[in-house]
Structure 1
Amino acid sequence: MKTELTPLFCDVDLARRIEVAEAQLIEATALAAHGRLGDGRGFVIPIAGGLASFADDDSPFNKVVGLGFGGLPTTGELDEIEQAYATVGAPVQVELPHLADPEIGIVLSRRGYELESFENVLGVAIDTKYDVTLPDGIEIRPSGDEELDVWLNVMADAVAVPDTQGVPWREEFPRDTYIEAERDAASADITRYIALLNGEIAGGAGLRTTDGIAQFAGAGTLPAHRRHGIQSALLFTRLSDAAATGCDVGVITTQPASKSQQNAQRSGFSLLYTRAVLVKHLEAT
């Protein structure tokens, strides 16, 4: 496998492209959840170039994304989304890039939002072609709809035993909640992959491509098969597929100082920017 990638510099325009792609993914996933549940509680509300999403109770897709590149949110807009989240009994979670308009952070702080965590966005300039020669015993193949439940369970099993390096995830989700959220995300034009080690399922991953941005939508290796090159094989297979679709930028989101970030940077990804996670809890609304 090719292991040297082109470093990438992130300006405001690139950050905007990435955040637009992220907002599109969140919206598509939330709408899939709304269709699955059919209870009329969910919402997707545009706000200042981004959107506020509520997919399902305790869903990882309940968040405000894409702010910072379309002007300041107005008092009326913030009132609207805060009331919408209060109605469904959920806090307001804003993921704000540090390259966004800094005035937004000030506005949110004055309204009672608190900084709770960070996440890193890493990226790489995608080459036109990759030589993906996998190590002996490793196979990466597409995973179709006929084995969606298998893929979902593999991903859930991998997430259930995370690497402990770096800053831990602030959020933890019950297995059933995670599986249903990933089921919704799978309908958002995400290509799924299964990794095999000596014929045995060892991990899985997802890839979404839009407007030249390749979103590496999660990857996991089952604990028994870690440290055998599965993650690298999944990464370069997806890079090759993204190149074939004409994407010019690949993006991964990780926890700060995590094993996932370390693996991505070893493979040539650069830290592009950090998102601050700002939360307003129900008692503060």
Structure 2
Amino acid sequence: MKNDRLPLFCDIALAERIERAEAQLIAGASQAAGTREAGRGFVIPFAGGVASYAEQDSPFNKVAGLGFTGVPSADALDEVERAFAAHNAPVQVELANLADPAIGVLLTERDYRLVSFENVLGRTLTGEPERDMPPGVQVRHIGDDELDTWLAVVVEAVMHPDAEGLPQHEQFPRGALEQAERDLVSVPGAICYLALLDGAVAGAASMRMAEGVAQFGAATLPAYRRRGIQTALLSARVADAAAAGCDIAVVTTQPGSTSQHNVQRRGFDLLYTRAVLVKQP
């Protein structure tokens, strides 16, 4: 990588596009959960984003993507809060720091409390990026009969996060996490990858493409961490996303985490931060 590479600048328009893709992904996964049991949850368009409740203990129970089409009305926020309260669930809002600041004022006035942050990083996709495969590492798409293997790797890795950086502010039961990941990769545009080290399954990743944005998620089994697995998975997806015509790849990480360090080493720049605000039912 050249040392004179200019960092990617994220303006409000780019942040809005990324947040719109995120809201679409959350809505798609939540709707997939709804097909398993009609009436279990909801997806409500909200302030340019989406309010989603998939099922109990789901990572998709949140408000995402809002803040780029104006401040929501009190009536609209009342509707969202009632919908979550009907499930005895807190309202969790993920608010980008490039969104309208007045929304943060509105939420804090209504007893939302700041509980955490998460970082969104991205890199431009141009030309034909090289595939960087460390010795012994192979990355490929999953086969038709490998979804359960992919799920097992992701869930095991998420249940044992790295200790560096800010800790996750929420934890999920294994069964709920597995079902959520299954719903996530059922969203149109999603692709699943496996990484193998010397023939053994070591990591897993996903990529979802929408509106020129490639959204990345990945996990490495604890026994195989710091052995080039994330480098290989990132490299493969960057090349695939560029070949598919995407102009930007994005990753969400915990601030100060090993994952953030890894993606920054691979040319991703910090674009913006989301504040996580929660109101209890």
Normalising by the smaller structure, the TM-score range is over 0.9
Which residue does the alignment assign to 2:19?
Answer: 19
Q: Which SS does the other structure have where 1:146 is aligned? A: coil
Q: Which residue in 2 is equivalent to 1:277? A: 276
Tell me the alpha carbon deviations over residues 226-247 of structure 1, each in whole angstroms, 9 at most, x when there is no partner: 1110100000100000001111
**Which residue matches 1:98?**
97
Correspondence list, 1:83-232, <5 A: 83-189=82-188, 190-216=190-216, 218-232=217-231
TM-score by length of 1: 0.95
Counterpart secondary structure, 2:131 = coil
Q: Write the letter of the residue equivalent to 1:174.
A: P
Separation of aligned partners in 1, 2:86 and 2:132 = 52
Give the residue type in structure 1 aligned to 2:260: Q
The alpha carbon displacement at 1:133 in A equals: 4.2
Q: What is the CA distance between 1:6 and its match in structure 2? A: 5.9
1:145 CA drift (Å): 3.6
Structure 1 runs, 4 residues or longer, greater than 2 Å off: 2-7
Q: Is residue 95–residue 275 contact of structure 1 (8 Å, CA) maintained in 2?
A: yes
Q: Secondary structure at the match of 2:17?
A: helix
2:29 is matched with 29
1:254 matched to 2:253: yes
Q: Deviations over 1:4-39 (max 9, x none)?
A: 87631000000000000000000100000000223x
Counterpart Cα distance in 1 of 2:173 and 2:214: 28
User: What is residue 42 of structure 2 aligned with on the other side?
Assistant: 43
- Tell me the distance in 1 between the aligned counterparts of 2:261 and 2:71: 34
Per-residue CA deviation, residues 31-87 of structure 1 (Å, 9 max, x unaligned), is 00000223x121000111111000110100000011110111001100000000000
The answer (yes or no) to whether the contact 1:215–1:252 under 8 Å persists in 2 is yes
Question: Amino acid of the residue matched to residue 136 of structure 2?
Answer: G
CA distance in 2, matches of 1:221, 1:102: 36
Q: Give percent identity, aligned residues only.
A: 57
Alpha carbons 2:132, 2:235 under 8 Å: kept: no
Q: Which residue type is aligned with residue 135 of structure 2?
A: D
Residue 267 of structure 1 and its aligned partner are, at CA, apart by 1.2
CA distance in 1, matches of 2:111, 2:223: 44
Alignment partner of 1:51: what SS?
strand
User: Which segments of 5 or more consecutive residues in structure 1 lack a partner in the other structure?
Assistant: none
Q: CA deviation at 1:128?
A: 2.0
Separation in 2, partners of 1:54, 1:20: 17
How large is the RMSD of aligned CA atoms in angstroms?
Answer: 1.3
SS of 1:194's partner is: strand
TM-score calculated relative to the size of structure 2: 0.96
Given that 2:133 and 2:231 are in contact with CA atoms closer than 8 Å, whether structure 1 keeps it comes out as: no
Residues matched between the structures, number: 279
Aligned match of 1:238: 237
Query: What is the CA–CA distance in structure 1 between the aligned matches of 2:256 and 2:37, rounded to whole Å?
Result: 36
Tell me the distance in 1 between the aligned counterparts of 2:160 and 2:87: 30
Instruction: After superposing the two structures, state which structure 1 stretch, 232-241 or 220-229, moved more.
Output: 220-229
Q: How big is each residue's C-alpha offset from its partner over 1:139-161, in whole Å with a ceiling of 9 and x where there is no partner? A: 00101342111100011111122
Q: Distance in 1 between matches of 2:132 and 2:163?
A: 30
- C-alpha separation in 1, matches of 2:110 and 2:132: 53
Gaps of 5+ in 2: none
Q: Which residue of 1 aligns with 2:8?
A: 8
More displaced stretch, 23-32 vs 136-145: 136-145
SS at match of 2:193: strand
Q: Cα distance 1:176–1:237, how it changes in 2: closer, same or farther (>3 A)?
A: same
The alpha carbon displacement at 1:224 in A equals 1.3
